[in-house]
Amino acid sequence: MLFSARGLLRSLQTCPSKLRRCLHSHYSTLSSSHREQVTIPCRSNGHITLRQVVVAKPCARIFLNVFFLFHPRVASGPAPAIILYLPPGPLLPTTWPTVDAGAALSSVTSAIVVQINYRCSQEHRYPTPIHDVLTGYDWVLENLIPSRSFHRPGRSANHRIKLAVCGELVGGSLAAMLALTECRLQGPYVAAAAINEPIIDWVFPEDDEVEHETSVDRLASYVQGLQVGQKSKAKSKPRQTSFSTFGDNTNLSASALLKARHDLFRRPEDYFDTFASPIFNFRTPGVPVPPPPQPKSPVDEFAELALFERDEFHRQQLKMSALSNRLQSPDQQEESTAEATKKPRKSYRRWPNAGSGLRIPQMRISSAVTSPLSDQVEEFARLMQKSIVSQELKTVEAEGDDMAKEAAYMLAERQIHHTQPDNLRLWSLGIIGIIIIVILAIVIPVAVVLSNKNNSSTTGAASATSTSSSSPANKNLDGMSESDIPKEAQGTILDPFTWYDTTDFNVTYTAATVGGLSIMGLNETWDDSTKANDNVPALNETWEYGKMPIRGVNIGGWFSIEPVITPSLFSDFKTSDDVIDEWTLCSKLGASRAQTTLEQHYASFVTEADFAGIQAAGFDHVRIPFSYWAVTTYDGDPYVPKISWRYLLRAIEWARKYGLRINLDLHGAPGSQNGWNHSGHQGAINWLNGTDGTINGQRTLDIHSQLSTFFAQPRYKNIIAIYGLVNEPKMTYLDVDTVLTWTKTAIQKIRSNNITAIITFGDGFRGLDNWQGELQDFDNLLLDVHQYVIFNNQQIALDHAAKVDFACGGWTNQTLRSSNKATGFGPTLCGEWSQADTDCATYLNNVGVGSRWEGTLNMVSTPGGSLDGSVLNPTCPTANSPRCSCSNANASPSSYSPAYKQWLLDFAEAQMYSFEQGWGWFYWTWKTESATQWSYKDGLAAGILPEKTWERTFKCGSIPDYAGMGLPENY
């Protein structure tokens, strides 16, 4: 019924061709004044107006006050974001001072703001407000959106329009209606909604839930006339719902809502409709439709049509029920008859229906605890979240998968954000800050992220809002204008007005480069006198490597995306989308959406506060992984080019501020050096291997030529302490001699560009002992090994005590042998390790792949995978008796048992001891979204890592009896 009604409503509008000619004639003659109104004919009984407000920024100092009429763009480029604002309607007294919320919106975003002044009064009752909003929406589609914005399969999402809708009270109800019926997966669509105090269910209160006030005697008599055969209100006991409890709210009372319902609806059927009461998309009203009073005035043609359609719908339902009843047995018919005599109860509906082409958009919905609407708003949010969970689980066909359920609930909470402030805060009564906050949380993601999230289950577009929905920070552009940037640089990556975040960047334009790499954003001065802590030298003092251990941390998943670190970027896709790494993520999003999504991630996932926290934890070095697309990209690459470069330079300056030395790590090389997702492209290894192997090897050398030229500048001499060649080349697959030859060439090239930092290279998984005697013709080299017990089937099966003993003994002996040139290479560093004792973390083993721990690691369907890499039998120490489970390892650390917390701390300190027998260590990693045992930040907060990196409570000579402490081996 919902969709047929939508079609009927549109079919009765003015002839489209005539309307377009009329609008074009009016629109083309409008002046370019600051504010204009567009009048739109609406059927045969009136017109509505839409006010457009667009912020111009000729000068950042006065941009809040400059408005002009938008003219549809014809030039190529990303489609603009549009905000539809729906006023609150007639519920607020006309004598109360209100603010121009549309103008307030325009002051915080450069999107087009369209205020639809729908009609809603005793003269223009429902469904007129619905028709007016839909008419205004259609006008926006026809006049403000270029035809290229209508998405077709295979067309870039760059030109797909992004719309947000916001409103409160009656406008909130209409905004919810529009968001739920126009969230299409094809063409322009409503991607987000901000709704405050919406009337989601006009069927309030239930007949026995509230006593009517004497001030509304007329309404009381009307309601009593509808309650034939029911209890007298005087004898009923009100239930403690928000409607009855907070019926005397100062700004919004229950009596005002009841009176509004009486004034705005001709008959009860009109507010039992899903367009008027959006909550009925998700459940039935739970009460019968009262018999309508006799109309006192002629009914217009739209009301007659709506009534006809409802009657026809119910006639069809009765026919189907009668047919079904005839097919039942006599006993079943008797039960059905008895059931039919019972009072109707609320039952849930499935919405959106399968095949509808709709997907619930992201919403920010609020209602005060003291509002009479709070109960229905809370229920509405919960029902939408429930629908999203149901859709997600059906999409992945994993209703019994606990991990999938958890991911679905997390998605639902991100999509539908429900807040309940203590007191009523209406935008329209001057609480401008509220609407600004809401719009910054909605509009910015619409322009940056939500265009790819809100069709999550079907298009699989993911979001970095997930990583953050924070607004962009660009206060240091105040006092500047676009004209300060040379015309040829405007709109490029050198234009700070295109940057999502300008915090701590020098926004004075420069085209200067070093090694072909831009210095735009760098400040002219720096200070290397800072030390990380009192135990280590300042940056401009000498560090005695080999004598003083490195205690460092990786900042992974920031500039080289990894699913295990930021699963929210991947969790919203269907399995069939095959989004498993940064390559496929960018491919799926398209160039424009990938750029905006990832730049927001770069700007928000790690901030200066993280560097302060790293220093406070006692670290003295940070390893910063980045990938080759920070420097350049090649034909066919879907990666976002060069944007991460300036964020990398800012990260180095933040490290400098806190006295932290840098280990510069090229994590992803052209062609992929290992075929793993953290190289950027999971699957085939095309670096020094295959048809393009030599080309990609040379490309990597060219990149190092640029990087080494840039970082040989005096400002980086003290802070870039370690310079990495390439992360984890898979030398068990690649030809060893080819890799060694490339390594020698790379070292020579880097040294020729005057890099004096230590150069580090990966052990390639050959085994440390096999590096003895290699690369001895070069000085100042460092062998980098990564040590984990969880990727080895034998080591992961060790019990808790054995794992600690392996760290104390096995890794210590390896480190000592490798650090001695008589038995190994020489200087050896552990560049990655963690305290995880299972491989249970979400997406750790690739997206959509299980774990060794539970025996669900099926690699057959993954790119480059095979049955040989699969582990289909549980490998936890109990061998599944009792059952191996990831539940405890993936649980919140607040639920860890004391024995497990003690073991995790001991295991971490045992590894620290072992790796400090060499040159030291870098923990993997500082921060994750949800994997505590891979996040030093979260582990520190949970008390399972030492408060300072040099503090120790555990000694390898005395390993506790963890089983005796009550720690099960399948934990």
Active site residues: 728, 832
- Per the structure block, which two tokens stand in for 444? 């910015």
E strand residue ranges, 883-955: 920-923
Place of tokens 């609930």: 409
Q: Which residues of 889-928 are buried (b: 16+ CB within 10 A; e: fewer)?
A: bbeebeebeebbebbbbbbbbbbbbbbbbbbbbbbbbbbb
Short-list 418, 372, 425, 377, CA closest to 242: 372
The half-sphere exposure of 361 on its side-chain side, counting CA atoms within 13 A, is: 34
CA count, 13 A, side-chain hemisphere, 36 = 16
Compute CA distances 643 → 649, 654, 944, whole Å: 11, 18, 36
Q: Which residues contact 259 (CB under 8 A, 6 or more apart)?
A: 216, 219
**How many Å apart are CA 454 and CA 473, to the nearest integer?**
24
Token digits for 150? Answer: 């209508």
d(CA 713, CA 823): 37
Asked if residues 155 and 59 have their Cβ atoms less than 8 Å apart, the reply is no
CA 362 to chain centroid, in Å, comes to 10
Give, for 912, the enclosing helix (H) or strand (E): helix 898-915
CB atoms within 10 A of CB 145: 22
Contact indicator for 80, 143 with CB cutoff of 8 Å? no
Residue 286 is classified by DSSP as: S
Cβ atoms of 738 and 744 within 8 Å: the answer is: no
- Give the span between the Cα atoms of 596 and 592, in whole angstroms: 6
The answer to whether 414 touches 465, Cβ cutoff 8 Å, is yes
DSSP string covering 942-964 = HTSS-SSTT-----TT----TTT
- Paired residues of 665 in beta bridges: 625
Q: Does residue 55 contact residue 67 with C-beta atoms inside 8 Å?
A: yes
Kind of pairing between the strands at 550-554 and 920-923: parallel
Extended strands (E) in 352-499: 362-366, 416-419
d(CA 569, CA 573): 9
Specify the residue for token string 């920031």: 558
Q: Where is 786: in which H helix or E strand?
A: strand 781-786
Q: Are 501 and 474 in contact (CB under 8 A)?
A: yes
